[in-house]
Amino acid sequence: MSFYWQALMAMPGPDFSLCLFLIPEHVQMEEQFKTLIVLSHYLETARFRQFWDEASKNHSILDVVPGFEQAIQMYAIHVLSLTYQKVPRPVLAEAINIEGLALDKFLEYHVANSGWVIEKGAHSQIIVLSRNEFNHPELKKNTAETVPFEHVTRIFPVLS
């Protein structure tokens, strides 16, 4: 069973989904597989609070796989960094399920090693995530695909 937990750790890769195709449907209806499928769904839909709540109910299973929490935390950071340039501290804390001093140390590590910056916000700290092609897109003008304005104006009489 730990094999399937490890496949879940490989998110965003398709490992877990591919493993499900190897399991007969009647076996997937067993409680332990149902839990895995629900957890996978929460991760795929970026519902991290629900994931951590459900995972805490099955903590004995999670203890079997070393590094599981860290792998899921890195996945959550990956998802956040694809979407956001800046994240409020409470949002990050919820996504990675860390609070207090542990979160402070986590942030210190990423400020030093990942290029994160911590800004003061109105109500809480704002974490500026590392730049990537998804959270800092650059407008690229492709001159080969431009249509001259006079070509566009020729269409107007046809449209009216």
The pLDDT of residue 109 is 95
The pLDDT of residue 139 is 55
Give the containing element (helix H, strand E) for 103.
helix 100-113
Matching CATH number, 84-136, of 1.10.3470, 1.10.10, 3.40.1130, 1.10.390:
1.10.10
CATH architecture of the domain formed by 1-69:
Alpha Horseshoe (1.25)
The pLDDT of residue 141 is 62
Which of 152, 154, 9 is closest to 76 using CA atoms? 9
Domain residue ranges of the chain, discontinuous segments joined by +: 1-69, 84-136
**What confidence tens digit (pLDDT) does each residue in 125-137 have?**
999 998 877 777 6
Over its length of 160 residues, how does the chain's per-residue pLDDT go in tens digits?
A: 666 767 776 777 777 777 777 777 887 777 777 888 888 899 999 999 999 999 888 776 667 778 888 999 999 999 999 888 999 999 999 999 999 999 999 999 999 999 999 999 778 899 999 887 777 767 566 666 677 778 778 877 777 6
The model's pTM: 0.73
Q: Which residues contact 121 (CB under 8 A, 6 or more apart)?
A: 88, 89
Which of 87, 90, 69 is closest to 79 using CA atoms? 87
The pLDDT of residue 75 is 93
